[in-house]
Amino acid sequence: MEVYKEVIHEWIKQNRTVGVQLLQKLVQEASVQGNEKLSQAIVIEKCRELMLNIDIWEAGGDELLNHPSFVSPRKSFADSPNVVAVLKGCGGGKSIILNGHIDVVPEGDINAWTYDPFSGKVLNGRLFGRGASDMKGGNVSLLLALEAIIKSGIRLKGDVIFQSVIEEESGGAGTLATIIRGYHADGAIIPEPSNMKIFPLQQGSMWFRILTKGKSAHGGTRYNGVSAIEKLYVVLEALKELEQKRNNRITNPLYHNIPIPIPINVGKVYGGSWPSSVPDEVTIEGRMGVAPDESIEEAQSEMENWLMNLKTIDPWFEQQPLELEWFGARWLPGSIEIKHELLKTLEASYQSIKNCKPVIEASPWGTDAGLLTNIGNIPSIVFGPGTTEVAHYPDEYIELNRMFEAAEIIALTVIEWCGIESIERGE
């Protein structure tokens, strides 16, 4: 590793300005859902500059739309291209996928931002803007790692498959499309904002909707009705107990620093029709975490059975059963063995650059690693330079030093994983 470590370090050091400018250009394009085309054009231009073999397509077709893991609200991906670029190896080495999503969540209330959310402003070693951490900074780390390898004259044995995908924030249709298109490798790295921690485990998650029914009456004689809001208290308490029960089963030490490994979060409540009426319906919508060692179906069944048993606590639910619906976005859980060779390779590269051992934990959120691992049968790890705490928040930013450190670590990992055919004089 020491043979090429200094060469990679020096190239990235000399090209920091190039990396910052690339990230600025990407952040300045507001690639929210349905608006990814211009950001992808920047990625395509960079991949052409590196003379990679590029595949550009708009996802779709029956095989994707009818796939059991397809959950996007979109049925057409016109003007939202997927991009895959391949650095072909000479043969005989292991292959790797470097997967990053180009879509970002909306900026929200612009008045909550100190700077324009798509400014790409650089201040005190940070670059600000929606997507800086989640995850365009990680994408730039991938591209810098690839460029450092190419420009340093290092020829690899195994293939490197760079993927810039759409739709991760809505459940992963872009990554699923790459799997259906036939892209496969011996391992994968996804640079989501992990705070430079390494996540070999990722929880899954899915959205749910629960309708609680009551009986309408005039507010002046509310004793003649049954308040759906009051019945909702019973439901919320049951969800809290279910969350505790499910989390008590989590014993993996990688969850040691995560207070609630697989939360059940209620994020939306709506119902009732008039202040002077007893509400006859209240609906909640939320997110249920899924453990890495369970399936989506197993988690769904546990909640369904748990809520069905409420009729033994309150007879009202025998008369008016709850209506539970699974809808919207969904992320599959994923995991690889703690002794997996890719994990060990990434650990060694991290330690070589940082001179300390990495923090290895379980991911507190879902990623496309679940699709790559479970549907694509590709062992996948999450490791990225972004800051978890500011992802999806106003004033999102990334520490630029981290982005360059991640690029070095990923470059060394790719070289070790894929193997070196030869080293020629670089630029």
Backbone φ/ψ region at 292: left (φ over 0), alpha (ψ -120 to 50), beta: alpha
- Strand pairing category for 198-202 and 281-290: unpaired
Asked whether 320 and 267 are in contact (CB, 8 A), the reply is no
Which residue stretches of 80-214 are H helix? 137-151, 173-180
* Residues annotated as catalytic (active site), given as ranges: 103, 168
Strand residue runs (E) in 214-280? 264-271
Alpha carbon 418 to its chain's center: 25
Asked whether 303 and 325 are in contact (CB, 8 A), the reply is no
Which residues pair with residue 290 across a beta bridge?
204
- Could you give the CA distance from residue 343 to residue 187 in angstroms, rounded to a whole number? 10
Q: How many CB atoms lie within 10 A of CB 76?
A: 11
**Nearest 5°: phi and psi at 177?**
-65, -35
Q: Which amino acid is at 413?
A: T
- Strand pairing category for 126-128 and 154-156: unpaired
Asked whether 123 and 212 are in contact (CB, 8 A), the reply is no
Q: Which amino acid is at 278?
A: V
